[in-house]
Chain A
Amino acid sequence: MTEDHELVKQLRDGDESAFAELIDLYGATMLRVAQMYVRDRSTAEEVVQETWLAVLNGIDRFEERSSLKTWLFRILTNRAKTRGERDGRQVPFSSLAGASPEDDEPSVDPDRFLGPDSPFPGAWAAPPVPWPQDKLLERETLGVIEMAIHDLPEAQRQVILLRDVDGWTPMEVSDVLGITDGNQRVLLHRARSKVRSALEEYLDPEVAEGGGQ
């Protein structure tokens, strides 16, 4: 991947291959992120198009105080938000501003732990069993993960895709989505926990059911 500084210079010089590299790198993610703020796919495509034009028109003023990626996605979310609000759309994060780990969404089914009256409250009653490593690399297993991510609530899905598929840092995610560091972590944790459960159900159905009792 070309360094930011180099890419910016190439864009200023009108180098189309640099632009192609950027849209191949971020285009699909931008479209997905835009879609959560606006009404439909074609509006999202419009917002992405507008964003790139704003980026190009602003490229001479870009001072590289943030990364090109962060700058790009800030422009994108600002535009998508404005557009979505104008169309009267609810943004999935607005309702999650107060999401906290105490919210009633346990990572693991509470039935798999010993109850408060046992000598070891909160200890595993139906513990996880180590997975066969080679199984994890199979296409079918990846398909299970993909399905599990697909089924997540919107905000959780966005965060796990940005963090674990695209490899964004916690700071990049909270910055671009306009949520706190704590919120992005809660969303990520819920998402990962659900993906883990789905995998366990696939690899180890008896364990997932609470030891088959």
Chain B
Amino acid sequence: MRLFTKEMACQELVELVTAYLDGSLSRRDRRRFEAHIRGCEHCTAYVEQMRLVIQATGRLTEGDLPPAAREDLLAAFRGWSEARAD
């Protein structure tokens, strides 16, 4: 016998996309999520958009450390390693 599982509404699904992609949904919610996606082209499009957002965000890069701050750090390293060699 199967327990009755409440169907997931689109409005609920959009709140769970990150948890789904992180693999942190309960087994029950994961099943509801996947069952919904199979039958809903709009939510399929929505999840695809979230994936594209993640992918595109991944193409951004952190800025560089300002050159002066980088130089200071390298100088501190040299100071440290000289003191250590003594």
Q: List residues of A whose CB falls within 8 A of some B CB.
A: 14, 16, 19-20, 23-24, 27-29, 31-32, 45, 48-49, 52-53, 56-57, 101, 106-108, 110, 113, 120-124, 127-131, 133, 136-137, 141-142, 145-146, 149, 160-161, 164-167, 170, 181, 185, 188-189, 192-193, 195-196, 199-200
Assess the A164–B58 pair: CB atoms within 8 A: yes
| CB <8 Å contact, B50 and A192 | yes
Give 25 A-B contacts (CB < 8 Å), ordered by A residue. Answer: A16-B77, A23-B74, A27-B64, A29-B62, A52-B77, A56-B77, A108-B46, A113-B9, A113-B11, A123-B11, A127-B42, A129-B45, A130-B49, A131-B49, A133-B52, A141-B56, A145-B57, A146-B60, A160-B57, A164-B58, A165-B62, A167-B58, A185-B18, A196-B53, A199-B56
The one of A31, A167, A185, A193 that contacts B65, using a Cβ cutoff of 8 Å: A31
Q: Are A145 and B24 in contact (CB-based, < 8 A)?
A: no
Contact of B42 among A124, A137, A166, A199 (CB under 8 A): A124
Interface residue total, chain B, C-beta cutoff 8 A: 44
- The residue from B18, B72, B74, B80 contacting A57, defined by CB atoms under 8 A apart: B80
Q: Is B3 an interface residue (CB 8 A)?
A: no
Which of A32, A145, A166 lies in contact with B56, CB distance below 8 A?
Answer: A145
B69 contacts which chain A residues (CB < 8 A)?
A: 27, 31, 45, 48
The reply to whether A49 and B73 form a contact with Cβ atoms under 8 Å apart is yes
Q: Are B74 and A19 in contact (CB under 8 A)?
A: yes
State the Cβ distance, B14 to closest chain A Cβ, in Å: 5
A153 to B46: give the CA distance in the assembly, Å: 23
Q: Which residue of A lies closest to B46 (CB)?
A: A128
Scan residues 26-83 of chain B and give those whose CB is less than 8 A from a CB of chain A: 42-43, 45-46, 48-50, 52-65, 69-70, 72-74, 76-78, 80-81
Which residues of A lie under 8 Å from residue B59 when comparing CB positions?
A: 142
Mark B residues whose CB is within 8 Å of A.
Answer: 9-12, 14-15, 17-19, 22, 24, 42-43, 45-46, 48-50, 52-65, 69-70, 72-74, 76-78, 80-81, 84-85
**A49, A170, A196, most chain B CB atoms within 10 A:** A196
Can you add 11 more A-B contacts, CB < 8 Å, to A27-B65, A45-B69, A192-B18? A14-B81, A16-B74, A19-B77, A52-B77, A113-B10, A120-B9, A127-B46, A136-B55, A142-B59, A145-B57, A149-B60
